[in-house]
Amino acid sequence: MANAAEHATPEHPPELAAERTANYRRLFRRFVLLTILCSFLPLLLVGWGINIHYTRFARQRMMDNFRTEIDHHRRVIELFLEDLSAELQLVALTHTREQLVAQGNLHTVFGLINRDQWSITDLGVIGEDGRHLAYVGPHDLMDKNYRETFWFKEVMNKGLYISDMFMGFRKEPHFVIAVLNSRTNPRWILRATIDTEAFRSLVENVQIGQTGVVYLVNGDGIFQTSPRYFGEIMGTTPFPVGEEHDGTRVYEFKGNGDGPQPLPRQVVGQAWLRQPRWKLVVRQDFKEAFAQVNHANRAMLIFLHVSGLTILAVAVLVTRHMIAAIRKRDLDADRLNQQLHQTGKLAAIGQLAAGVAHEINNPLAIVLTERQILLDMAGNGGIAEAAFQEQFPQSMNQIHTQVLRCKRITQNLLRFSRRTQSVIEPVDLSAFLGEIVELMEREARAGGVKFFEEFPADLPTILSDPSQLQQVFLNLITNAIDAHEGKPYGSVRITTASHREKGMDGVRILIADSGCGIPAENLERIYEPFFTTKPEGKGTGLGLAICYSIVRRLGGTMEVTSQVGTGTTFTLFLPATPPRELLMQLEGTTGALGACPAETLNT
């Protein structure tokens, strides 16, 4: 036979299915979020740590390189000036004024100084009075008197002087190195003008990236060379010059976006030359200076994003897989649960049938004896005998009584077996329990167990599933009767009452037996499937597990108290209306609520 339960798949009505799907979706989102969080946090922490450490390290390296380069460049400039000064001093020491003034000699010296690289534009011998004694160079300066110029005064004082850039007689930026020969009398000065172009290219043409700027500035903030932008030679620097210091300083310039000459964030290195006191400044755009670091950072950021995307993809995939597995498990569990319920139901009815067989066999045996009595009498003296005439109606009445007894039992049983479909309908629990008691009473009485019923007349009807309730009560009452095994007499007290629990109206049912009771260690296990203390073959261990699951499903509660030797009491609460989920589920499968108009649901 195609059992309905075998084919009943847990297909739920659309509304419930939607709710379930929403639940899975929520679960999905939560899992994905959790997975991402769990994967991202360590990744971010590690990434952040490495980034900070690497950036700091790399910057330090860059700054050190920057400093070394500036140091080196300063040395180059210093050496250039020192070399020239030394050469001029050598000439002044090894020549007399007369020798240098003599026709052609100064020219030779000029050529010798410029022999390797063009360094000076002119060379002159100047007397104590400030007038040229001899001159080699492109300008016509023979008649110029330098007596009042600042460099003349300085060199007369110091013996060697390297001037700042100045315009002078020739009206173009230049600077001079002058050497005083004070060993002869009169004293004289050898003065050379440094080739501005050569000097500038020496200073400025150092390639420091695309944005690197190299320039010299004197203590007053006057440019000694031309920076590539933000100023010209002899112009004034827009930045404060600051105090002189030893060594090379490297610092970060934050940028002056709002100034007249906006500059980006820069790395600035500065070092003061020993002689003259000029400051060598190298500026480079921060972005360029740290391009490598930034590049590494960008690569890392890309890597982080790719990792993030991978994690996201993996999280989504894994979670999807997991949710699918959970969903399948849920479906399997639903199916198994349904099968379990069906099995339990059949087991309960089977148990009932065994009991009922006894109840039917007894009246049948009486019927048979009545027949035999009549046959015996008829055989004795014939049916015309007065004794037979007397016995006949008695026997017939007895047969009638016993047949009616059988009929009542079979009808009751039929009513039971008909309730196999899950339908939500109004249930009068008093009448319902009465029927069950009636069915089991005789068998119970045969075992010495009496039923006591306390059903109040005004007990409200509840909306519930009679087929399921039947299973619950059949199980509980059978258990109550079985609990008297080994006791000659006992009682089962069934009480119903209106009750309110957890804000829900409903009915409370007490089934109290005077049986052997349940030991404390078993009490917490009674709802476990397959837990039974009955002998093998008698109990399946499913009864109470199914009862519990049914009562929960119907929105009710079930509690038990027990004392060994005194008895057990099951307290059930059934709500006036079953939970919405069950209603929807049954509506989808049986359309049962058609029988219950919406108004009744609210009673």
Residues that bind another protein (CB under 8 A): 353-354, 357-359, 361-362, 364-370, 372-373, 376, 380, 398, 402, 443, 445-449, 488-489
Peptide bond into 276 cis (omega under 30): yes
Strand ranges for 227-369 from DSSP E = 248-253, 266-272, 278-285
**Backbone φ, ψ for residue 552 (5° rounding):** -65, -40
**Among residues 64 and 485, whose Cβ is nearest to another protein?**
485
Cα(254)–Cα(463) distance, integer angstroms? 79
Q: How far is the CB of 424 from another protein (least distance, A)?
A: 34
State how beta strands 449-454 and 490-501 pair. parallel
At residue 282, the 3 state secondary structure works out as strand
Q: What is the CA radius of gyration of the chain?
A: 58
Cα(328)–Cα(350) distance, integer angstroms? 32
Cα(478)–Cα(348) distance, integer angstroms? 9
Q: How far is the CB of 545 from another protein (least distance, A)?
A: 24
Q: Which residues pair with 215 in a beta bridge?
A: 281
Taking phi over 0 as left and psi of -120 to 50 as alpha, with beta for the rest, 178 belongs to beta
Q: Which amino acid is at 468?
A: Q
Structure tokens at 348: 């309960």
**Quick one: DSSP state of residue 131?**
B
Q: Which of 164, 165, 127, 163 is nearest to 147 (CA)?
A: 127
Q: How far is the CB of 484 from another protein (least distance, A)?
A: 10
Whether the Cβ atoms of residue 270 and residue 237 lie closer than 8 Å to each other: no
CA distances from 176 to 93, 163, 207, 477, 602 (A): 19, 5, 26, 124, 110
Whether the Cβ atoms of residue 151 and residue 178 lie closer than 8 Å to each other: yes
At residue 25, the 3 state secondary structure works out as helix
Could you tell me where the DSSP H helices lie in 205-262? none
CA distances from 312 to 41, 307, 315 (A): 13, 8, 5
Residue whose token pair is 């501005």: 196
Q: Which residues pair with 126 in a beta bridge?
A: 132, 189
Whether the Cβ atoms of residue 149 and residue 193 lie closer than 8 Å to each other: no
Cα(203)–Cα(83) distance, integer angstroms? 16
Q: Which amino acid is at 580?
A: R
**Euclidean distance between the first and the last CA atom of the chain, given in angstroms as a whole number:** 40
**Any long-range contacts for 432-436 (C-beta under 8 Å, 24+ apart)?**
432/466, 432/469, 432/470, 432/473, 433/473, 433/494, 433/496, 433/509, 436/470, 436/473, 436/474, 436/477
User: 577: Cβ–Cβ under 8 A, 6 or more apart, which residues?
Assistant: 462, 463, 555, 583, 601, 602, 603
